[in-house]
Chains A and B, each alone.
Chain A
Amino acid sequence: MVVKNVVCPVCGGSCEDIQVELKDNSITVKNACKMGNGKFQEVVSEHRIKDPMIKKDGKFVKVSWEEALDKAAEILANSRRPLLFMGSETSCEAQEVGLHMGEYLGGVVDSNATICHGPTCMGIQEAGLPTSTCGVAINRSDLNIYWGTNPLASMPRHMSKYGLFPRGYWTKRGRFDRKVITVDPRKTDTAVASDLHIQLQPNSDYELLNALLTILNGKTPHHSVEQVTGIAISVMEEMVDMMLEAKFGSINVGLGAGSSFGKHRNIEMALNLVKELNNNHGTKFRIGALRGHCNVAGFNQIATYLYGYPFALDFARGYARYNPGETSCVDLLREKDVDAALVLGADLVGHTPADSAKYLCQIPMVCIDIAPGPTPSGADVLLPGVIDAFECDGTFYRLDNVPVYFEPFTDSPFDFTKSNEDTMKQLFAKVKELKEKA
């Protein structure tokens, strides 16, 4: 049977128009990009983690669900300061259980933003976020700026679905009604398809943004900026002119802006640029981040509305405290300042610096995941994951922070859990039982 309007759980695009046809051992997928299709094939993959496992003498042995869950609960309940990493490859509903469990245990709860767009969240905290949904950009934007991102590789359908080609109310001719500027040190496919490519020196985004604002404020930037950024001031002025000529501009920032040197200061400056354009120059702009993983925005949203901070929440004192660099996962692991971990739906070992990853594999670790990889290999207890949007329902937040409710097209392959949310709830109940006994 063909199922329509399935949500893709791969990147922040949360495309909701996927069609699938699931047969015994194969799946046919329409509308998804290559990346999306790859994940849909997981549902029939042989690699799937199917059994709960516990590491004994360095080797995984299959155990019953109850035994694995007991062991996992024991690790968390006995920890003096656990790290709960609620990855982006799962629903807000599952992440929410993790936040509450972190509060209950006095642990630290973090998510993928900490190794991804965390600096973007921090920049927003410094300067505020003048933004809109992608829908507004589709209907209005006559200038698209891709800053430090190559969506053709990282969010393949961004240009066709949200950014460049869609025909909107005031942009009836789609691409022909829009100009594109790409700011990237590399000559990417996106850069080649642009009207203006600002090929700046790596790690000079802050200086370029600062210079653009200086030009907007009627001054000529200090001459050294040409050498620092590799861009002539005349080209910067051309860019400013294009921005001032636009009726509505849409800036899409990627990790090239948020995670090159300067980090949250780059984003803060980009936000200041948007505010200045909106306030004093007779044009309107919005800015948004191209979120890489499917529900990476979701954790930031629910953590913020539940506990006040977007990531790196430390519950040691019973209430949430937040200080990236101190309460963030990479730093806590590097500093050996946690003594056990739960990792849900993220390959944390593969995506943290070597020192942090090494320590993570040394401490007792519970992992909930769907397929083998560095993190499952480093775990002491491995609980099979359920694939959100394929096998259970729930909520993701799209790149523009719009919540997208998804429904499954098949069932959880396990009789012991319906979803990652279910697994987390069962685990939390066991943890509470153990804690109350003690």
Chain B
Amino acid sequence: MAEVKLTPNKEIDLKVEADVITPDEFAGKGKSEIEQLLVWQGPSQYPLSDFFDVEGEGGSSAEDTTIVINGDVSRVKLIGAKMTAGKIIVKGSTGMHVGSQMAGGEIVVEGDADSWPGMEMTGGVLHIKGNAGDHVGSAYRGSWHGMKGGRLIIDGNARSQIGGGMTGGEIIIGGSIENFCGIRQTGGLIVVKGNAIRAVGAEMSGGTIVIGGNIQKFTPGMQNEGEESDLEFEDIKCSGTFKKFRGDFAIAKNPKGIVYAGKETNPDL
């Protein structure tokens, strides 16, 4: 497997859009060709080498190419956008839209990710070891269809609108979240180990959400359907007892969305 190492070589002022940083683009290219790939900063385009020192060269195919970003790229957006295969390892934090619309391969972010990671992704694995911002795996503004497939794992916390419009795939969040998780969800699975503030599963009509911790403000359109213990969704297991709800009856007469809320952590529900 060929490896390309990108080391940030200057402090970035205006944010950079680097949707060329994907194994698909790097595959079959030598060092100097990769250096000449163009990225956007405002309305101007510059070669990648203006922002990164490049070492190594791409493999024969995307599948065969690993990109290692050696440092903080929190002002670089769209890393790994639309990638279909191969691997990206970011040894720091990333800017917005990491893995946006990715279809395959793997991205590992060792730091935090800004908003919109894995927007409308259809396949592959996006693993963020730190925290993430808003719109994790969600639909673009005005679109009703978010993540369709693949797996999105966030070890830390994430904020609001997680899995908005989600139709398939899995989102697993180790920490806590804020508002409107699974808004307009119609399929797929969201598992949150920590707490949620508000509107979990709002306007959902399908799919499943599991919240292990406490939900501060529950969605009024949810109807109680008893309890279940030790949930299993193929390889994803959630141990303990959960209160089960169906909804959101605010948005449909016969919705099929399911929310599980930890029994002990939610005595008031």
Instruction: Give me the interface of A with B, judged by CB distance under 8 Å.
Output: 80-81, 105-107, 122, 125-126, 204, 206-207, 209-211, 213-214, 217-219, 221-222, 224-225, 227-228, 261-262, 265, 268-269, 272, 315-318, 322-326, 335-339
| Shortest distance between the CB of A223 and any CB in chain B (Å) | 9
Query: Which positions 123-158 of chain B face chain A at CB distance < 8 Å?
Result: 134, 140-142
Flag if B40 contacts A207 (CB, 8 Å): no
Flag if A81 contacts B141 (CB, 8 Å): no
Flag if B183 contacts A265 (CB, 8 Å): yes
Q: Which residues of A contact B180 (CB under 8 A)?
A: 262, 265
Flag if A217 contacts B269 (CB, 8 Å): no
Q: A81-B14, A125-B141 are in contact. Are A325 and B218 (CB under 8 A)?
A: no
| Shortest distance between the CB of B231 and any CB in chain A (Å) | 21
Q: A80-B42, A206-B202 are in contact. Are A214 and B249 (CB under 8 A)?
A: yes
A-B CB proximity, top 4 nearest: A106-B43, A81-B42, A221-B220, A213-B250
Tell me which of A227, A323, A337 contacts B141 (CB under 8 A).
A323
Q: Which residues of B contact A122 (CB under 8 A)?
A: 141
Identity of the chain B residue whose Cβ is nearest the Cβ of A81 in the assembled complex = B42
Q: Tell me which of A80, A222, A316 has the highest count of chain B C-beta atoms within 10 A of its own C-beta.
A: A222
Flag if A262 contacts B179 (CB, 8 Å): yes
Flag if B43 contacts A225 (CB, 8 Å): no
Q: Tell me which of B43, B116, B142 has the highest count of chain A C-beta atoms within 10 A of its own C-beta.
A: B43
Q: Complex formed: what's the CA distance from A187 to B154 in Å?
A: 43
Q: Which residues of A contact B14 (CB under 8 A)?
A: 80-81, 337-339
Flag if A105 contacts B15 (CB, 8 Å): no
Q: Complex formed: what's the CA distance from A219 to B224 in Å?
A: 12
Known: A106-B43, A207-B220. 12 other contacts (CB 8 A): A81-B42, A210-B248, A211-B221, A214-B249, A217-B252, A227-B268, A228-B218, A261-B198, A262-B198, A317-B43, A318-B43, A322-B141
Q: Which residues of B contact A218 (CB under 8 A)?
A: 253
12 A/B residue pairs, CB under 8 Å, sorted by A:
A80-B42, A209-B250, A214-B220, A227-B268, A228-B218, A265-B199, A265-B202, A272-B250, A272-B251, A316-B43, A338-B14, A339-B13
Q: Complex formed: what's the CA distance from A221 to B247 in Å?
A: 11
Tell me which of B17, B41, B223, B268 contacts A219 (CB under 8 A).
B223
Q: Complex formed: what's the CA distance from A272 to B251 in Å?
A: 8
Q: Which residues of B contact A217 (CB under 8 A)?
A: 221, 249-250, 252-253
Identity of the chain A residue whose Cβ is nearest the Cβ of B178 in the assembled complex = A261
Identity of the chain A residue whose Cβ is nearest the Cβ of B41 in the assembled complex = A80
Flag if A222 contacts B218 (CB, 8 Å): yes
Q: Complex formed: what's the CA distance from A227 to B40 in Å?
A: 49
Q: Complex formed: what's the CA distance from A338 to B180 in Å?
A: 30
Tell me which of B41, B42, B250, B268 contacts A224 (CB under 8 A).
B268
Q: Which residues of B contact A272 (CB under 8 A)?
A: 203, 250-251
Q: Which residues of A contact B142 (CB under 8 A)?
A: 125-126
Q: Complex formed: what's the CA distance from A199 to B13 in Å?
A: 47
Q: Which residues of A contact B13 (CB under 8 A)?
A: 336, 339
Flag if A219 contacts B249 (CB, 8 Å): yes
Q: Complex formed: what's the CA distance from A335 to B250 in Å?
A: 37
Q: Tell me which of A268, A316, A336 has the highest count of chain B C-beta atoms within 10 A of its own C-beta.
A: A316
Query: Which positions 242-269 of chain B face chain A at CB distance < 8 Å?
Result: 245, 248-253, 268-269
Q: Complex formed: what's the CA distance from A298 to B253 in Å?
A: 38
Identity of the chain A residue whose Cβ is nearest the Cβ of B217 in the assembled complex = A228
Identity of the chain B residue whose Cβ is nearest the Cβ of A265 in the assembled complex = B180
Tell me which of B42, B224, B253 contacts A316 (CB under 8 A).
B42
Identity of the chain B residue whose Cβ is nearest the Cβ of A204 in the assembled complex = B217
Identity of the chain B residue whose Cβ is nearest the Cβ of A122 in the assembled complex = B141
Cβ-based interface call for B173 (8 A): no
Q: Complex formed: what's the CA distance from A209 to B199 in Å?
A: 12
Identity of the chain A residue whose Cβ is nearest the Cβ of B139 in the assembled complex = A126
Could you give, for residues 210-234 of chain B, a 1 whenever the CB lies within 8 Å of some chain A CB and a 0 otherwise? 0000000111111110000000000
Q: Complex formed: what's the CA distance from A81 to B199 in Å?
A: 37
| Shortest distance between the CB of A270 and any CB in chain B (Å) | 12
Q: Complex formed: what's the CA distance from A310 to B79 in Å?
A: 28
| Shortest distance between the CB of A377 and any CB in chain B (Å) | 25
Tell me which of A106, A222, A318, A323 contacts B219 (CB under 8 A).
A222
Cβ-based interface call for B96 (8 A): yes
Q: Which residues of B contact A324 (CB under 8 A)?
A: 141
Q: Complex formed: what's the CA distance from A225 to B223 in Å?
A: 12
Flag if B220 contacts A225 (CB, 8 Å): yes
Q: Which residues of B contact A211 (CB under 8 A)?
A: 220-221, 250
Q: Complex formed: what's the CA distance from A207 to B203 in Å?
A: 11
Q: Tell me which of A210, A219, A268, A323 has the highest count of chain B C-beta atoms within 10 A of its own C-beta.
A: A210
Q: Which residues of A contact B222 (CB under 8 A)?
A: 222
Tell me which of B42, B115, B250 contacts A325 (CB under 8 A).
B115
Q: Which residues of A contact B253 (CB under 8 A)?
A: 217-218
| Shortest distance between the CB of A152 and any CB in chain B (Å) | 30
Identity of the chain B residue whose Cβ is nearest the Cβ of A226 in the assembled complex = B220
Tell me which of B42, B115, B183 contacts A326 (CB under 8 A).
B115
Query: Which positions 157-206 of chain B face chain A at CB distance < 8 Å?
Result: 179-180, 183, 198-199, 202-203
Identity of the chain B residue whose Cβ is nearest the Cβ of A318 in the assembled complex = B43
Could you give, for residues 23-61 of chain B, a 1 whenever the CB lies within 8 Å of some chain A CB and a 0 otherwise? 000000000000000001111100000000000000000
Flag if A337 contacts B15 (CB, 8 Å): yes
| Shortest distance between the CB of B17 and any CB in chain A (Å) | 8
| Shortest distance between the CB of B41 and any CB in chain A (Å) | 7
Q: Which residues of A contact B141 (CB under 8 A)?
A: 122, 125, 322-324
Q: Complex formed: what's the CA distance from A105 to B96 in Å?
A: 24
| Shortest distance between the CB of A100 and any CB in chain B (Å) | 15
Q: Which residues of B contact A207 (CB under 8 A)?
A: 198-199, 217, 219-220
Q: Complex formed: what's the CA distance from A265 to B224 in Å?
A: 24
Q: Which residues of A contact B42 (CB under 8 A)?
A: 80-81, 106-107, 316
Flag if B202 contacts A261 (CB, 8 Å): no
Q: Which residues of A contact B44 (CB under 8 A)?
A: 80, 106
Flag if A206 contacts B96 (CB, 8 Å): no
Flag if B269 contacts A224 (CB, 8 Å): yes
Q: Complex formed: what's the CA distance from A65 to B38 in Å?
A: 41
